[in-house]
Structure 1
Amino acid sequence: MLLVDSHCHLDFPDFASEIPQLLENMRTQGVGWGLCAGVTLEALPSLLALVSAHENLYAAVGVHPDHQEGREPGEDELVELTRHPKVVAIGETGLDYYRLEGDLEWQRQRFRCHIRAARRAAKPLIIHTRSAAADTLAILKEEGADAVGGVFHCFTESMEVARQALDLGFHVSFSGIVTFKNAVDLKEVARQIPLDRLLVETDCPYLAPAPHRGKRNEPAYVRHVAEEIARLREMELEEVAEATTSNFFRLFNIPRETK
């Protein structure tokens, strides 16, 4: 049984001196692979160096919707970055109206840029959406994102939003939030997502699942997310692992090596 952490940030400074131990923790918990999502252009060289050094790590390239400082991505640059052999997606990208106020048209334009680049590069998208589901879905539809699909990462929305994402050909990924006792509605969504569109993730260093809630998260803890999904769906952990791992390799068009 092997799991995949479909969204993590192992290139963050939190982890700089601990990569060998974190990879060993993954191995001991049956986590075979991880996808490290980009958040700024400035950090991409170190991210790409990290995934290049470890065969079981992959990367996505993009600029997080929260980031107002730093260089703005251009469509051509994003397409060129996808030529790196370990880059399997564009993101994370999307809309986040939770922390920022005022005219957020710049966020929407950045999001459109990422979608257009993904279509040109024929790469799936990793979508971040917070307090912005309606606009996120509308822009995905307007820009023809169904041509490439992708994943709504760290999903916290309603089943109706999930249905619209599924209709656009997207997968839905659950983080440690689904293990929280007060996440009653989200647990119900996790029961209903089709098994062939389901992914699990940590979004580490954030959102550590129970029983580690409040501590720094790491990819090995994705096992707790998968265990909760299995409990909610009345399935064996091995079934959830096989489905989510197969979904990961199919979605990101990665040849699945044996481990």
Structure 2
Amino acid sequence: MAKRKTERPDPSSLGLPRVGVDSHAHLDGAGEDRAMATPEAIGAVLDRAAAAGVAQVGHVFLGPAAHAAGRELFAGRDEVFFLLGIHPCDAAKAAPGDVAAMEAAFGADAGLRAVGEIGLDYYWDAGTAEVQKALFRDQLALARQLDLPVAVHSRDAAADTLAILDDLGFAGRPLVWHCFGGDAALAAEIARRGFHLSVPGPVTYAKNTALAEAVAGCDPSRLLLETDAPYLAPEPWRGKRNEPALLAFTAVRVAGLLGLDPAELWRRTGDNARAFFRL
């Protein structure tokens, strides 16, 4: 018997208005697909996003060298804003002057709206934990100095991440827990500190019940949506390369969990992102 073909509807068919924001994406393929690292390919992705109701996209530069090399890929695409940070998995190879180079980049590029993604990752490399912590603290200090929002990456490291944020007095400051994949208890700890959390495509996965329950209990005023493209495509595009247009499917799922109309959830999370990043 032939394998049944999965139906993959066009996200534009959901009819969402162009007010949504993808708060976190790697539009250049994040090193996974260099074919994406051209203005033409990125432009096509952004055009599909616009057709699906995405008004703005946050592109993440993973370090100052990536920003210097890739900024011109986005010339003329005013719907893209930028985040810049050194990922914890790159902590061991970060150069001594990288944080200073980040400071210079923020001073020169008004499109840079947040420090991120920064944080701790013990899933891939727990052996560099102390180096990661030191770099995380340095980048948090930069964000405070420049009065910028922060996008945190935390994988298998929630306790240490929260401890550092508490130690540095970050409660109440503009901070988003990027690609949230935790349970209701972690969501409550994030909310208690006045932080935002950003919901990715895996909330649409049938077996991801803990994440669904966590999102269902969240205050919509503290939610952002993201793709983390090219990773983590939502159903019904799971297993394919993710892109901002597919954020619409995540929005429909989150709206259902919160008992909101999809267009209303789409608008509210978009407004949250615009306020958070000062767009």
- Normalised-by-shorter TM-score class: over 0.9
Point out the structure with the larger helix share. 2
Q: Match for 1:7: what amino acid?
A: H
Quote the residue 2:149 is aligned against.
124
Once residues 72 and 28 of structure 1 are traced to their aligned partners in structure 2, the CA distance between those partners, rounded to angstroms, is 43
Quote the residue 2:106 is aligned against.
82
| Pair 1:64–1:73, CA change in 2 (3 A) | farther
Contact 1:6 1:201 (8 Å CA) reproduced: yes
Q: Match for 1:8: what amino acid?
A: A
Quote the residue 1:16 is aligned against.
37
| Pair 1:119–1:210, CA change in 2 (3 A) | same
Quote the residue 2:95 is aligned against.
71
Could you tell me the TM-score, scaled by structure 1's length? 0.93
- In structure 2, which of residues 257, 263, 267 is the aligned counterpart of residue 238 of structure 1? 263
Cα displacement (A) at 1:14: 4.5
Quote the residue 2:6 is aligned against.
none
Q: Match for 1:199: what amino acid?
A: L
Contact 1:74 1:113 (8 Å CA) reproduced: no
Quote the residue 2:5 is aligned against.
none
Quote the residue 2:7 is aligned against.
none
Gaps of 5+ in 1: 255-259
Quote the residue 1:212 is aligned against.
237
Could you tell me the TM-score, scaled by structure 2's length? 0.86
Cα displacement (A) at 1:73: 5.6
Aligned: 1:202 with 2:202: no
Aligned: 1:60 with 2:60: no
Q: Match for 1:101: what amino acid?
A: A
Partner of 1:35: helix, strand, or coil? Answer: strand
Quote the residue 2:247 is aligned against.
222
Cα displacement (A) at 1:160: 1.9
Contact 2:64 2:105 (8 Å CA) reproduced: no
| Pair 1:103–1:56, CA change in 2 (3 A) | closer
Partner of 1:32: helix, strand, or coil? Answer: strand
| Pair 1:47–1:152, CA change in 2 (3 A) | farther
Aligned: 1:185 with 2:243: no
Contact 2:23 2:224 (8 Å CA) reproduced: yes
Quote the residue 2:67 is aligned against.
44
Deviations, residues 48-104 of structure 1 (Å, cap 9, x unaligned)? 323453100000111111113353564433333222110100010000000113252
Quote the residue 2:8 is aligned against.
none
| Pair 1:47–1:160, CA change in 2 (3 A) | farther
Quote the residue 2:199 is aligned against.
174
Contact 2:180 2:200 (8 Å CA) reproduced: yes
Once residues 73 and 208 of structure 1 are traced to their aligned partners in structure 2, the CA distance between those partners, rounded to angstroms, is 35
Q: Match for 2:220: what amino acid?
A: L
Once residues 143 and 104 of structure 2 are traced to their aligned partners in structure 1, the CA distance between those partners, rounded to angstroms, is 11
Q: Match for 2:276: what amino acid?
A: L
Deviations, residues 123-178 of structure 1 (Å, cap 9, x unaligned)? 01000000000000000111122363220011011222222222222111110010
Once residues 169 and 105 of structure 2 are traced to their aligned partners in structure 1, the CA distance between those partners, rounded to angstroms, is 21
Contact 1:175 1:200 (8 Å CA) reproduced: yes
Once residues 76 and 147 of structure 1 are traced to their aligned partners in structure 2, the CA distance between those partners, rounded to angstroms, is 26
* Number of aligned residue pairs: 254
Contact 2:85 2:118 (8 Å CA) reproduced: yes
Once residues 73 and 170 of structure 2 are traced to their aligned partners in structure 1, the CA distance between those partners, rounded to angstroms, is 29
Q: Match for 2:171: what amino acid?
A: D
Once residues 234 and 46 of structure 1 are traced to their aligned partners in structure 2, the CA distance between those partners, rounded to angstroms, is 43
Q: Match for 1:162: what amino acid?
A: A
Percent sequence identity is 34
CA RMSD of the aligned region, Å? 1.6
